[in-house]
Each structure stands twice: as structure tokens, then as C-alpha cells.
Structure 1
Amino acid sequence: MNEQQASQLVQRLYDSIFTMLTGSSEGGPAAYDPNKTFITLNKGGQLINPADFRNQWSPGNLDGSTDATQRFAELVDDIPNFSTIHTASGRRVSEIYQQLLRATVTADATSDPTKRKAYTDAWKFLHQTITDEETGKKREVDSDLATDYDTNQALWRQKQGEFFAAFMAAMATPETKRTWPMLAPSLAGPVKTAFTKWRTNKADQVEAARATLQTSGVDQVKRAFADAQFVFDSYAIGTEGGTSVAGTRRSTAMPSNWFTSDNFNNWPTYKWEYSKSVTNTNSDYTRYGGSAGFSVGLWSFGAKAGGSSENFHSDANAEQVKLEYKWALVNIRRPWMSPFLFSLPNWKTDVARKGGFSNGTRNGQGNSLFPLLPMAFLAVKDVTVTANFSQAEVDRAKKAISAGGKVGWGPFSVGGNYERGSSREHVAGTVGNAGFRMPGVQIIGWVNQIMPMCPPE
């Protein structure tokens, strides 16, 4: 497999994931807006140790592990660079958000009582004040309706993705395409059930309240920032029962059991074949750094203890490559964050020029401080890659695995150490001439929102 074939293989997989998450069915909404969504792939995957994230502390689980809560908060706090190959920028969502909260507001509040009341009513609808059982202090958190909205929307997004994955698989060949009319009704059932649960629990009222904050907040920027600061302070992990890295706030995952390698969570199976896939000429993959990421080969070896790394091309025939894995779309919930602030006018900050956080587009984001906000990640397990590997590459991969280094093939991990937590345990898949298998949970990609143009001044 030469450089062009290797890059095209990963691009086709990238495009299939993007289509699965941004496609719409039967005239309904897409799980994610394709115009505001940017997918990043992890080169060589990111291995997950279930013990690092199990039994997380929360107000509803006071005996849980604050270390596990901290690890998840840090996992989803990295701001990625604007490239289809996922790389951390070194900046954190919570840090940039704190810079936002310290911004200088350049316009006074409106004196219109109608707008003030609309803002107050919307804020109260979306939040509730509780008393911390340990400290006795007042904390402002999301209302039950706002929490249920996000949870139900996340479930619908997963089911919508499953439906569209099945649709793409059916459209791959003329034979399977003919079966779609018979398969579609039963596959659409869970999507409709999840959609109904989401929409019938006052979803329109939650959306209206959030829209009101956006529109009314335009005239009450200083108040909006002050309210957001109070909520942000309420979610500091250190104030909720544990020791926190400065600025880190508790985030949650939906589904919450995403990290387990057991089979009880009923993850759907995704199957993909290179020979049945197509190349999208308008793909983000080639326009934003994807080709460079695998131009040196699908195999990636990272040395143990921070030594040199290397890449080399696979000898497999691309036309014979098949993938199969179980997957989950893990949505990230940041209850401490008020995203509408980024779209408000009349504020500036001393850490970024106008448009320095993000210019709001897909272009020219190389120097932006906050171009992308991770909204979800794609967790997979039981990865099986079928390919006609040469004996030379099999031997090379096995040697690297036995040496304790990190080994990857495309966006998948074949072996390595866990990257979070205190465990230095080395895990490895099985590699042979017919391909490889990696049973454990790993993250292969991230679903990111393109941030609006900000700061506005």
C-alpha cells in the first residue's frame, strides 16, 4: 500500500464517520450540524483503562472517586488544533473559559424592563439553586429539565448515528441496497422513540429559554457574565469533595458507562470495507492536514519512555481491508459552561485580539486559541481489522509491541500503555498475517463544534 492508498483508506473511513454523524434521515434533523461540526481522528488511537474512570464522584454519588472525576474532566478539557488529525493544542477549555469570564464588558445593560424580565425568567427556567450538603453554601446548577434535555438529546444522537451507519452499509452494494426497504422500519423505531422522548419533555421550552438568553443577553452582557461566573464556581471539583487542578470543572459523559469493555452496554457493531466505500472530493480530511498525518505510513510506533517514534507503510492490499468494531458516541456535558457567552457582543479580553479565540469558519484557524470545542468522542472496542499483512510488517509490529512501545494502525491502537491515570500497564492486541484484533476500549476520534467568531472586539 503506497502513500496515496494509505491516505485514501483513512480518508474514506473519516468521511464515513462524518456522514454517519451529520447525515439526516427521512427529512429529520441531523445528529450534528455539518456546517458547524469538525471531526478529528486520533492517530494510533487512545487506549482507555476502565479503572481510571469507574465510580466517578458526583453530588449523587458522594462515595465515588474524585480522582476518576478529575481524570474524565481532564480527558475532555483539551482544545484540539484545527486539523483532521487530533492533536492537543496545550490549551484547555476550562482555562479559555475562565479568560472569557474575566473579559471586559464594553457596553452597559439595557434599561428595558421587558428584556430584563425575559432574561431573568429564562435563566431561572434553566437553573436551580441548591445547598451543598458538605459546605452549606449555595450553588447554582442546571435545572432538571435542562439536564434531561441534554441527556435525551445525547441518546437520540446515538440512535440517529446507528441508523445512518446501517443505511450507509445497506447502500454499499446493489444487493444490500435492495434490502433497505425491509430493514428501515425496524431500524427507524429506536430513533423515533428516542426523538419522541427528547422532544416531549418540554424540549421546545428549553430551547426557547436558551434562545432568550442569547437574544436578551445581547443587551445585558455584564449580567450574563456574572451569572455564568456563579455557575462556573459551583462546579469546581475541589469544592465538591476532592482536590482539583486549578480551574478544572466537573464534566459528565453520556452514556456514563462508556469506558467498560464488558458487553452489557449493548454497543452496536460497525462494519466497513474499503472496496465498498467512496471518496468524498470535498472532504475536510485532505483540506485540513489528514493526508500529512498518514503520508509516512499507516503503522505508527511510539517508543517506550519517550524515545524516538517511527512510521512505515503497510504491505496490505487496500481493496482487501475490512474493519469491524463496536462503538459508542459519547457526548460530553459541561454544566459549568454557558456557551452562549461566546456569541454575545460588547466584550473584549487582554489575551486575544478580535477573532483571536476563533474566526468562526473552517479557514485560517491555525493560530486561533479556541477554534474547536469537543462535544463528543467516538469510543470503540473489539476492533478487528482484516487485511493481508506481510510477514515483515507482522514481525515488525510484534517486536514493537513486545518492547512495550505504542503501536497503532491508522486511527486504531494495536498496543501501548494507558495514557491517563496512574496505571502503567501495557496492553496489546493480537497481530497476524490476516490482520489484527484489539479488544479493549479506545478513542479513535472526536466530534467538535466550530466556535463562533470571538472575541467580538
Structure 2
Amino acid sequence: MSVSLERLALTDVDIMDALLEKIYQYFTFRDDDNPTMSSQSPYISFINPGMGIGEKDVDFNIYSDVGDLEAKDRHALFSQMVNSIPESVGFWQSTDIKVWDIYQKSITNIKLASSQLTTDEKKLLEKCEKIITSTNTKKYLKYQNLYLKAKEEFTMVRLNALRKKDPASIQIWEVQGERLTLNKNFAFKQWVSEGLKNKYEEAIATIGMLTERGPNVIYDNLKSRFQESFEKTPGMGLDFYHTYIYPPKILSSEYSDRWVEFSFEESERHEYNSQSSTSYGGGGGFSTFGFSWSAGASYSRDMQREQCEIHSQGFSIKASFLQVPIIRPWYSSYIYKSRGWKWVDEITTPISTGSIPPNEEVFMPIVPNSIIFAKDIEVTFNKEDELTKKALDVIKGKGSVGFGPFSIRGNYSHTSSSSSLDYEETNTGIKSTGIQLFAFVCDVIPKSPNPDPKLFGEAGFVKTEENLFSGLNIEPFSIDQLTRFLQK
């Protein structure tokens, strides 16, 4: 029994949503062998379509002040972009309100419980601050990157075996599964031993624990670090706060082996049916299956895009992905778990309600914590189909062309550097090789502010261990236990 193209076209759009769902599961696949401290599922904000980006656009010589004015301009533009606060519905858009705007409010326009740290607690705070140095941060990030690569290689093969359930995918897992598992677990152990993972994270958690008390000394440190990160570019006159990715030359050929291949096929549409639709942006956001285009080549939040539909017979897509953490030296996320502060009376809007999407107006429900880059997009489809032929003819003369969430053509100018994406037709579809900024993986901010009423009562309050660790994803150590741990 044949299926009419008209009927098929009505369901083709589901494939795009299934594609986003698989990408979401790929980047959030839980490593049961090596559980991390945070158990909360992240949110992924997809850019539609991706934005072309060049090697120099992310290289500002991290942790050093250079006299290169063009590099500072690139740094400012990059910082402005990755600190846009994404909407928790729909696709990503650049916004005027930045993470640093809300963070500044969160450490200045507030009332603190203002309890005093003991002498031992002050010593512990100093010890933790010494652990979180730029040198240790580099070690942490270096081995985190190696673990992410090993985990993603493992995840792609494992996910295909679990979801596709076809003999070929299962056989690949049977052949490669043991090696990939060993590589992943070894990379995690290296992160712990060489990258100081546990000690580094416990130091941050300890400072977060002490912050629960609302001591002025910690907030004075936060304000000082925030101001030290401020800069205005001489050339463009842009205000920004230093924000990086690591390593700085991650898009160069030096790190070509860091990319991991991803694939999706038409037959997988039934395996990925928007199970996490509130955990990523764009679910249900496609109205057609096929190409989108605009006359201009530059990305704009107000860009009007038109769409060309094609049919999905024989559709598959391959892409290479790279996930890289975002580093903000001025930002301490633990303040949003603290119950030792509240807004000044003039501010009533929450930072976050902890729900996605928020059930009321909020300042910052999610914060980008890493970037997903994409390249080497290969799309396979039925080129003999008349609707597909028509679509290919339409997009030939367009400046900016996308296929689903991927950009396949566009010219992008970033001050002193420029990048371009373009596609070529192949025997089975199209291919586009340039690098693009594809999505942001975001932390979901818990309910904040969430002041403990006992801390702000007239009678005062002495915090217990249970209160001390409220909202933190760590076990309640005593101060003595934490000190002994950090001395190891």
C-alpha cells in the first residue's frame, strides 16, 4: 500500500523535532559509571539556523591581557553573544539583557543575612580560594575536555544501539562498546587525578556552603572579582566582562581530533518523539521539513526567513559536534542556591522560579554553560523527487540558507575576521563543511531568591547542618570534614 506524498508531508516536520530530541539526548546522556555532582538535567537552546564562526573569533589569549585591539573587539563581541540570556522556549536569540546585568543585581541590590564566619571558617574560605586558581582551572578544563570527547564517542555508539535497534548498530556496539567504555572511564579518572576534579568542585561547594550564611566577606570578594573582569574596548567602545572558552585555539586544526561524529536517520523519528520537549528550545518549532532561507547572509534576531519544503524519503544527516565549556571568571553560580540573601524591597521579580518554562516573569531562568559547535554537515535525501528539485533551485540564489537547525550557507563578519559557510550538491544530497555555532547547553537556575525566613527573623537563627546544605547537590559535611578533605 503506497503512502501519498501529501499525507507524508504532514508528518515530515516530526522528523526535525525528533532530530533535536536525539541531539538533546546525545549531549545529556547520563554517565552511570561516573556520576557527577549535579543531578539536574540541563536545557539546550538551539540556534536556528546556526551562525558561521571562525577560529580567531574565539581566541583571545585566555587569562592574559594582550595589546591587540582587534582581539579585544572580538572578545567583546563574543562575550556579548554568549552572555545573552536565552529564552526557555523556542530558539535562541541574542538579547540586550546579559548574564552579567542580572548577576550584578544579585550581588549588589540585595539584603544579606550577614552572619559572621568563625576564625576556622575564614581559614577554610582562604584555602578554598587558593585551590580555585587560574592554573588549577586550566587543569580542570583540560581534562574535562578529554572526558567530554570520550563520553560523546561512547554515547553516539551506545545511543544508536539502544534506539535504532538495527543489527548493524548493535554489532558496532558489540565490537566497540568495551573499548569506548574503558576510554570514557579512564578519561574520567584522569579528570579526577590530574584535573583535580573532586578537590576543585568541593572547594567551590564549600564556598557555596559558607555563602548560605550570607557573610559580607564572601560578597565583597564576589564584587571585587566582578569589577576586575570589566573592560571597555578602545575600538568599538563596548562594555563587557571577560568570558572565554578553553582551550583558546579549540577551533584550530590542532584540535581536529576533538570533534565527534553524529548521525540521524529518517527511521529514528519514532524513537525520538520530543520526550524532553520542555528541556530544549525549538521543540515543535519547525513548520516544514526542508530548507529555510533569507536574502541577507548575516544573522539577525529580526531576520525574516522563508521555507522550502521537501519530502523525507531516504533522509539522513551527519554532522560533527564539539562541546566546549564557557568560562566566566566573574560568575559564581552557587549564590543562586544560597538562602542567605533576598532582594531589596524595590525589586520583586525573581531570578528564576526553577521551572521550565517559568510560570511567571523572571530575570534569568537559564544560563549558558557550554557551546556546541557543528561542522561537516552532510544531508542525504531523494534528489529525484520533484519537490526537492524545486527547493534546490529556489535556494541557489539565496544569501543565507539553513536545513533545519543547521546553517549551510552564509557570510559572517566579526570585526577583524570573517567566516563563510557554503554547500555543494553531491550525488545523494548536499554537503557543507564550515564551522558554526549551533547551540548552548544551559544550567537551569533553581528558585532564586529563596531566602530562609529563619535567617531574617527578628530573633536570629543558628544554622544547622541540614539548613547549611539546603539546595546543594552535596552531602552535609561538617567544617572539620571539609577541611580534612581539602588538605588531601
With the length of structure 1 as denominator, give the TM-score of the two structures.
Answer: 0.83
Tell me how far 1:282 sits from its aligned partner: 6.1
Task: Assess, with a 3 A threshold, how the Cα gap between structure 1 residues 162 and 368 changes in structure 2: closer, same or farther.
Answer: farther
Q: 1:39 touches 1:84 (CA, 8 Å); kept in 2?
A: no
Which of 72, 83, 88 is the matching residue for 1:77?
A: 83
Matched with 2:42 is 37
Matched with 1:321 is 315
Identity in percent? 21
Tell me how far 1:4 sits from its aligned partner: 5.1
Task: Assess, with a 3 A threshold, how the Cα gap between structure 1 residues 11 and 212 changes in structure 2: closer, same or farther.
Answer: same
**Unpaired segments of 5 or more residues in structure 2?**
452-488
Provide the C-alpha distance between the structure 2 equivalents of 1:86 and 1:447, rounded to a whole number of angstroms. Answer: 11
Tell me how far 1:249 sits from its aligned partner: 1.6
Tell me how far 1:410 sits from its aligned partner: 0.5
Q: 2:42 touches 2:443 (CA, 8 Å); kept in 1?
A: yes
Matched with 2:171 is 178
Task: Assess, with a 3 A threshold, how the Cα gap between structure 1 residues 244 and 360 changes in structure 2: closer, same or farther.
Answer: farther
Which of 13, 16, 23 is the matching residue for 1:17?
A: 23
Which of 104, 126, 132 is the matching residue for 2:110?
A: 104
Q: After the TM superposition, which residues 154-233 of structure 1 pair with which residues of structure 2 at under 5 Å, given as runs?
A: 154-171=145-162, 172=164, 173-201=166-194, 202-233=196-227
Provide the C-alpha distance between the structure 1 equivalents of 2:279 and 2:442, rounded to a whole number of angstroms. Answer: 16
Provide the C-alpha distance between the structure 1 equivalents of 2:190 and 2:283, rounded to a whole number of angstroms. Answer: 41
Task: Assess, with a 3 A threshold, how the Cα gap between structure 1 residues 237 and 155 changes in structure 2: closer, same or farther.
Answer: farther
Tell me how far 1:146 sits from its aligned partner: 3.6
Matched with 2:338 is 344
Larger Rg: 2
Task: Assess, with a 3 A threshold, how the Cα gap between structure 1 residues 409 and 418 changes in structure 2: closer, same or farther.
Answer: same
Matched with 2:52 is 47
Give yes or no for the alignment of 1:249 onto 2:245. no
Alignment RMSD: 3.2
> Partner letter of residue 193 of structure 1?
F
Q: After the TM superposition, which residues 233-312 of structure 1 pair with which residues of structure 2 at under 5 Å, given as runs?
A: 233-238=227-232, 245-246=238-239, 248-260=240-252, 264-276=256-268, 278-280=270-272, 283-285=275-277, 290-304=282-296, 309-312=304-307
Tell me how far 1:218 sits from its aligned partner: 1.4
Tell me how far 1:426 sits from its aligned partner: 5.7
Q: 1:298 touches 1:409 (CA, 8 Å); kept in 2?
A: yes
Moved more, 69-78 or 443-452: 69-78
Q: 1:252 touches 1:333 (CA, 8 Å); kept in 2?
A: yes
Matched with 1:353 is 348
Give yes or no for the alignment of 1:152 onto 2:143. yes
Deviations 1:246-297 (A, max 9, x none): 2x12222134334347884452222221214544456233787635421255
Deviations 1:127-176 (A, max 9, x none): xxxxxxxxxxxxxxx34224422332233123212210121223421343
Provide the C-alpha distance between the structure 1 equivalents of 2:86 and 2:309, rounded to a whole number of angstroms. Answer: 28
User: What is the count of residue pairs matched by the alignment?
Assistant: 435
Give yes or no for the alignment of 1:113 onto 2:119. yes
Tell me how far 1:203 sits from its aligned partner: 2.5
Tell me how far 1:177 sits from its aligned partner: 1.0
Matched with 1:133 is none
Provide the C-alpha distance between the structure 1 equivalents of 2:223 and 2:174, rounded to a whole number of angstroms. Answer: 51
Q: 2:342 touches 2:449 (CA, 8 Å); kept in 1?
A: yes
Provide the C-alpha distance between the structure 2 equivalents of 1:370 and 1:272, rounded to a whole number of angstroms. Answer: 33
Tell me how far 1:438 sits from its aligned partner: 1.0
Q: After the TM superposition, which residues 116-135 of structure 1 pair with which residues of structure 2 at under 5 Å, given as runs?
A: 116-126=122-132
Q: 1:322 touches 1:386 (CA, 8 Å); kept in 2?
A: yes
